[in-house]
Amino acid sequence: MPGSSIGATALVMRGAMLGMQGRLGEARTEIERGRRMLQDLGQRVHWAGTAMVAGENELRAGDPRAAEAILRAGFDVLNESAETGYLASVRGLLAQAMLEQGRNEEALRIAEETRRMSAPDDFEPHARAAAVRARVLALAGDLGGAEGAVAEAEDIATPTEYLPLRIFVALARAEVEHAAGRLEGEREALEEAVRLSALKGDVVAGEAARAGLPLSRRPRDTGAGTRTSTAQRRCAGDSSMSGFRAALRRKGTPSKESPWFHFELGADSNPASTSGSFWAHGSSKGEARQALNIG
């Protein structure tokens, strides 16, 4: 259903799935097409909400400056509107974009703003803000503060089924463990990130985690047909922690469910597949599956 809100949302979410496969240029094209359709339809708030998907794809592609620009534009529109449900989530991703640029003081400030503006039961921005805070404090040598922050993030994220957030928190735990010199704890956190990434079908996050594991500890890929980029293969071949930290700077996490869309990637990680589920406002699952195959 080209030209519809459902069709536009399907393009954005297909882009998100392509991004998880490491097909980042294709992902950007699909996301931009969908967001342009939303603008043409006059759905300004919906367009602003999809900044989360577009921003995360740029983080995954290693361009946190582009992610910052996208997230700031989305935040500004949401801040002016009556839509507040995902304002804090966009702000939390902006804190992550600041961190990936090495702007740690700004990341810490925005993470605190995210915490303050989040509803008490809005787990995603609370956990993301705590994980960003943990990484900043670990880099600053405040290991006690970092431990407290990452434990807070784990307490919030672990009981949920939101795998992208749990992957992000596991990678933050790995950084804290590394800063503290606890190599076994670091390995366990990285292995958890690899496990969760496999469950989600997120090749990019999985390779970021594998970059920090010794070769003997890296799980073998079991899926057939999964495509990885040259950059990911180079990342997977670097067993040093410097390679892992560089991967963390380059990689983002996939998006959460929004008020306008929801998707779960099937085990084959195929964006043309209907093995997952997808729906949008006013649509049946059958309509949404049809939309996912547009273009």
pLDDT in tens, 228-273: 333 333 333 332 233 344 444 433 333 333 333 333 333 334 433 3
What is the CATH number assigned to the segment(s) 5-214+226-292?
1.25.40.10
11 band by pLDDT with thresholds 50, 70 and 90 = very high
- pLDDT at position 40, please? 94
> Is the pTM for the entire model greater than 0.85?
no
Q: What is the mean pLDDT of residues 276-288?
A: 38
| One-character DSSP codes across 21-70 | TT-HHHHHHHHHHHHHHHHHTT-HHHHHHTHHHHHHHHHHTT-HHHHHHH
Q: Locate the domains of the chain by residue range.
A: 5-214+226-292
What average pLDDT does the chain have? 79
pLDDT for 76 beyond 60: yes
- pLDDT at position 212, please? 81
The type of residue at 288 is: A
Query: Tens digits of per-residue pLDDT, 108-132?
Result: 999 999 999 999 999 999 999 999 9
Q: What is the mean pLDDT of residues 208-220?
A: 66
131 Cα distance to chain centroid: 13
How far is Cα 38 from Cα 254, in angstroms, rounded to an integer?
20
- pLDDT at position 1, please? 54
Instruction: Point out the least confidently predicted range of 20-34, 179-193, 232-246.
Output: 232-246
